[in-house]
């Protein structure tokens, strides 16, 4: 089973008193951790040098033989371009090591995180809060069930994220929904 590993998971595993057992169970259960290049960039932003080195060690211990996933803005941009060109596949993994280039990637990702995307996220939260009673949202699961039935919500979210990340596209409703329902994994 493929499983995306968020950066905070590396922190939790590092802090766990049974760290080695957790890593052993991940491997025994056949879980294929999919860290991202963004994970490595976030780890490299850790100011405490010892903690950073321990997190790097945990990162390399947990990650599988695949290269990590590309950063999400790159994936979205490449996915949009592939759909516009009629291509069905994109390369989702990215060969990244700790070097000068990694630091450049880290700076780029840090510069696009934040203000525009955060404004969008706050807007999405406000939409859910303002419409909670109208659309009968009682928890996260009911919201996603509602969103699945109302594809215009996904299209709006998709377009807002693209706008926030500066990704221009000419996709129609069907193409956007094709991205939404795509199930291919590496």
More confident residue, 130 or 76: 76
Query: What does pTM read for this prediction?
Result: 0.58
Lowest-confidence range among 34-38, 137-141, 179-183? 179-183
Contact (Cβ atoms closer than 8 angstroms) between residue 167 and residue 76: yes
Per-residue pLDDT of 80-109, as tens digits, reads 898 888 887 888 877 766 655 566 666 666
136 versus 26: which is more confidently predicted? 26
> What is the per-residue pLDDT for 184?
47
Q: What is the pLDDT of residue 185?
A: 41
Region 107-128: mean pLDDT is: 61
| Per-domain residue ranges of the chain | 1-112, 114-186
| φ, ψ dihedrals at 57, nearest 5° | -60, -45
One DSSP character per residue, 154-170 reads HHHHHHHHHHHHT----
Q: Is 91 helix (H, G, I), strand (E, B) or coil?
A: coil
């Amino acid at each position: 089973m493929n499983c995306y590993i968020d950066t905070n998971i590396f922190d939790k595993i590092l802090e766990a008193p049974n760290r080695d057992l957790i890593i052993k169970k991940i491997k025994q259960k056949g879980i294929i951790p999919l860290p991202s290049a963004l994970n490595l960039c976030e780890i490299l932003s850790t100011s405490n040098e010892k903690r950073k080195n321990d997190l790097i060690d945990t990162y390399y211990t947990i990650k599988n033989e695949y290269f990590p996933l590309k950063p999400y803005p790159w994936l979205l941009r490449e996915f949009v371009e592939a759909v516009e060109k009629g291509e069905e596949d994109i390369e989702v993994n990215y060969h990244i090591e700790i070097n000068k280039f990694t630091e450049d990637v880290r700076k780029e990702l840090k510069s696009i995180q934040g203000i525009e995307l955060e404004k969008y996220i706050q807007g999405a939260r406000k939409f859910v809060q303002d419409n909670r009673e109208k659309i009968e949202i009682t928890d996260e699961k009911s919201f996603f069930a509602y969103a699945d039935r109302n594809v215009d919500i996904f299209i709006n979210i998709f377009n807002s994220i693209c706008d926030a990340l500066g990704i221009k596209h000419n996709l129609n409703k069907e193409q956007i929904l094709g991205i939404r329902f795509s199930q291919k994994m590496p």
